[in-house]
Amino acid sequence: MPEATVQSSAGEPGLLTRSFRALRLPLNDPFAVFGLAIYALFVLTAIFADQIAPYDPNEILYTPAYDLAADLRPGEQGFVLGTTSLGRDVFSQLVYGTRSALLIGVTAAFMVALIGSIVGLVSGYLGGWVDVVLMRLADIAFGIPFLPFVIVLAAFLEPSIWNVVLAMALVLWRDTGRVIRSQVLTLRSRGYVDAARVSGSSNFKIILRHIAPNVLPLSFLYGSIAIGWAILTEASISFLGFGDPKSISWGYMLQDAFASQALAKQAYYWFIPPGICIILVVSAGFFITRGYENILFPKLGR
Amino acid sequence: MQQLKTAISRLLQLALVLWAVVTILFLMFRLMPGNPLAAYIDPTFTPEQQASLMAQFGLDKPLWEQYFIYLGNLLQGELGQSFRYREPVAERILALLPNTLILTFTSLIVAYAFGILAGAYLAWKRGSAVEQVAIPLVLTTRAMPEFWLGMVLLAIFSFWLGWFPAGGVRPAGAEYDSLWALYTSTDFLTYLALPALTLAIYSQGLPLLLMRSNMLDVMKEDFVTMARIKGLSNWTVVVRHAARNALLPVMTSFAIAVGYQLQGNVVVESVFSWPGLGRELVNAVSASDYPLAQGAFLMIALVVILMNLIADLLYALLDPRVSHA
């Protein structure tokens, strides 16, 4: 149900413009704009990490006097956020951590939204036994404790950041799938869908052309929640020691700090910043979600 | 009659989900890379132990036959031998369950008491400056990694101020006559405080936001308008009429929250060295103690599934308009 204002623009817009508009970014909600701005900031940091970070995040650094640059406080010897117990630059790790966080967040969210949307569309539109089977699968997915599942999965596979993505794709489509299904159930009986059907459109075409565009904002909403979930999950997994030791992530930094007695050393500069970054990215997702809710369900008026 | 039918269909669904989760677990632990025997047999077990486990779990039989033996064993509560502790997995898990449940319920009760009151208050203060500040703040607590919050609280209250111990459930060397004596000792409370507070801060968001939006809905209902017309005081309307009705869905969410909390416990128990199911799962997986890992996972899954069922049934019971067709 795109608004009239969107439709009235001159000429036939290109596919890219059209799909961008179909996402209906909530630009009139201050919270949502704030969330989008945070996303933009982290995306830029991830892209230009090589330029922003003063050191290699894995490099063991030495002071000019050839001492190990370990456990330096912020500002000492020119290290903005200090160094870790092994002499690595906290600020550089934080900057490079943005990359793995966004990579995991976006791919996992994409998988969750994609699988959930397909399940919801097929289940809701076709109904019958397909619907029964898919919804029982969703019930089963709801019975699987997610974090323990990721831990067991990570233990059997090679340590990799993709384990989190795989586990999310296997389990977390359940919420998106159910919500999209119920949306499709109401769309299915609309007049324009009936019209398309009697004029001989195939099921595939009806789903793709007439129903999918209308559930796209909902998929995007669940996708932006999933970004946060993915980043939190990756952080938890890395913290528990099942992450990829080769890639620097915020969860890895926290695990490193915890194992190196940063709490007893009161090294707040080491474990506070990664936590703040995680909170910023995850809550940005929440704020964007709120903006979407105002567009999708204006009656809620939250 | 309708409710009985609902209950029976829910129970059948529960059975299906349980069976599926158990099967997924079987396949995961049998199809993992390496020796298929590794799921139950540690190379350091004595030959007699190995032989008896081989027979008990039918490890020399084809996979499908092992599957039925596995199901049969599960029904009898037989989960195998822990590699590290050399004792039955079932005993170990049942011994840890109370610790996890105490932590979970303490934190959730605190979270719900606070969340319900604060949620009702924020609904009352709709559109005020308090609300403008409080709602983003609550969303932020939902965005925190729980273990990070635990680390911050530990660094401040334990390492800096020294008010609380840094982890565990009892002082080193302390012995208690019984579990009951341990759980009722004041030492135990000081150990419980920080992990429970961590989980409570994370969990209060759900009841708070639910209570608030329910209150806002209920305040628009006719019976509330009626109460106002009757000239009842603001307090009576909000507390006696609106809040009571807004409370029902919040209470059913408690069961769901228990399930979610068990998953969050995995990390928080690890931060605070709390000897519960979650920490045991992590340790068992790290040490390749497969029978114990499998058992801990099953126990957590069982509670999650049961809590989902209870939430469903409570929901239907408290609000008869909900039907499960």
Task: Report pLDDT digits (tens) over B34-53.
Answer: 555 666 667 677 777 777 77
Name the residue with tokens 């709490």: A263
In angstroms, what separates the C-alpha of A4 from chain B's closest C-alpha?
30
ipTM of the predicted assembly exceeds 0.90 = no
Is A171 touching B (CB cutoff 8 A)? no
B301 — contact with chain A (CB < 8 Å)? yes
Measured in residues, chain B has a length of: 325
pLDDT of residue B39: 63
Banded pLDDT at A2 (limits 50, 70, 90):
very low
**Partner A contacted by B141 (CB < 8 A):** no
CB nearest to B13's CB, from A139, A149, A282? A139
Instruction: Answer whether B157 touches A (CB < 8 Å).
Output: no
Residue of B nearest to A226 (CA): B143
Please give the pLDDT value at position A26: 65
Quick one: what percent of chain B has pLDDT higher than 70?
A: 84
- Contact partners, residue B1, CB within 8 Å, separation at least 6: none
Pairwise CA distance, residues A189 & A296, whole Å: 19
Identify residue B101 by its one-letter amino acid code.
L
pLDDT score recorded for residue A25: 66
Q: How confident is the model at residue A301 (pLDDT cuts 50, 70, 90)?
A: very low
C-beta separation of A254 from A97 below 8 A: no
Question: Closest residue of B to A142, CA-based?
Answer: B305
Q: Work out the pLDDT band at B325, boundaries 50, 70, 90.
A: very low
Asked if the C-beta of B134 comes within 8 angstroms of chain A's C-beta atoms, the answer is no
d(CA A113, CA A176): 7
- Tracing tokens 């992450």 back to the chain, one arrives at A243
Q: Does B68 touch chain A (CB under 8 A)?
A: no
Q: What is the pTM of this model?
A: 0.81
For an interface test with B, give the residue of A31, A42, A240, A282 to mutate (most B CBs within 10 A): A240
Q: Residue B139: list chain A partners with CB under 8 A.
A: 283, 286-287
The confidence band for A49, taking pLDDT boundaries of 50, 70 and 90, is: confident
Q: How far is A53 from chain B (nearest CA, A)?
A: 24
CB contact under 8 A, A286 and B28: no
Distances (CA, A) of B117 to A160, A241, B192, B233, B239: 43, 38, 23, 19, 10
- Amino acid identity of residue B95, one-letter, is A
Q: Any chain B CB within 8 A of the CB of A232?
A: yes
Cα(A238)–Cα(B211) distance, integer angstroms: 34
The minimum CA-CA distance between B9 and chain A, rounded to whole Å, is 13
> In chain B, which residue's Cα lies nearest the Cα of A299?
B217
Look at residue A245 in the predicted model and tell me its pLDDT: 76
Name chain A contacts of B154, Cβ cutoff 8 Å.
Answer: 263
A271/B148 CB distance under 8 A: yes
CA B53/CA B48 separation, integer angstroms: 9
Residue B240 carries which side chain, given as an amino acid letter? R
Q: How far apart are CA A103 and CA A106, in angstroms?
A: 6
Close Cβ partners of B76 (under 8 Å, ≥ 6 residues apart): none
Give the Cα separation of A196 and A234 in Å (integer): 44
Q: Is A245 on the interface with B (CB under 8 A)?
A: no
Please state, in angstroms and rounded to a whole number, the distance separating the CA atoms of residues A204 and B260: 37
Q: Are B108 and B200 in contact, with CB atoms under 8 Å apart? A: yes
Q: Work out the average pLDDT over B302-315.
A: 83
Tell me, what amino acid is at B270?
S
What is the mean predicted confidence (pLDDT) over A220-224? 81
Round to whole Å and give the CA distance between B215 and B248: 11
- Of A148, A262, A278, nearest to B300 by CB-CB distance is A148
Which of 243-262 (B) contact A at CB < 8 A?
259, 262
Task: Report the residue of A29, A134, A147, A268 to disrupt the B interface, i.e. the one with the largest count of B CBs within 10 Å.
Answer: A147
Rama region for B167: left / alpha / beta (φ>0; ψ in -120 to 50; rest): left
For residue A112, give the nearest of A88, A138, A139 by alpha carbon: A138
pLDDT of residue B319: 66
Inter-chain contact B285–A151, Cβ cutoff 8 Å? yes
pLDDT at residue A1, rounded to an integer? 39
Rounded-to-integer distance, Cα B145 and Cα A231, Å:
9
* Among candidates B21, B28, B286 on the partner chain, residue whose Cβ is nearest the Cβ of A156: B28
pLDDT tens for each residue of A53-109: 677 777 676 666 666 666 667 766 666 667 776 767 778 788 888 888 888 888 988
Report pLDDT for A6. 42
Least Cα separation, residue B318 to chain A (angstroms): 22
Closest CB from B17, B293, B296 relative to A143: B17
Q: How confident is the model at residue B108 (pLDDT cuts 50, 70, 90)?
A: very high
Task: Write out chain B residues lying below 8 Å of A236, CB-based.
Answer: 145-147, 266-267
Rounded to whole angstroms, the Cα distance separating A127 from A207 reads: 13
Q: What is the mean pLDDT of residues A126-148?
A: 86
Rg of the Cα trace of chain B? Answer: 24
A173-188 and A212-239 are packed helices; what angle lies between their axes, rounded to 10 degrees?
A: 170
Residues 6 or more apart from A102 whose CB is under 8 A from it?
A42, A43, A46, A281
B313 in helix, strand or coil? helix
**Distance between CA B211 and CA B248 in Å, rounded?**
9
Instruction: Check residues A211 and A22 and name the one with the higher pLDDT.
Output: A211
The minimum CA-CA distance between A285 and chain B, rounded to whole Å, is 9
Record: contact A286-B143, CB cut-off 8 A: yes
Interface of B with A in 159-198 (CB under 8 A): 159-160, 166
Q: Give CA B150 to chain center in angstroms.
A: 17
* Cβ contacts of B264 on chain A, cutoff 8 Å: 147
Nearest to A241 among B21, B159, B286 (CB): B286
* pLDDT over 90 percentage in chain B: 3
- Cross-strand partners of B88: B81
Chain mean position to CA A261: 30
Residue with the bigger pLDDT between B161 and B217: it is B217
Give whole-number Cα distances, A18 to A201, A213, B75, B311, in Å: 22, 10, 56, 42
Residue B205 contacts A, CB cutoff 8 Å:
no
Q: What is the pLDDT of residue B247?
A: 82
Q: Do A151 and B282 touch (CB under 8 A)?
A: yes
Q: Test B17 with A258 for CB contact under 8 angstroms.
A: no
* Chain A interface, best mutation among B147, B258, B300, B303, by max A CB count within 10 A: B147
CA-based nearest distance A145→chain B, Å: 6
Could A152 and B28 be called an inter-chain contact, meaning their C-beta atoms sit closer than 8 Å? Answer: yes
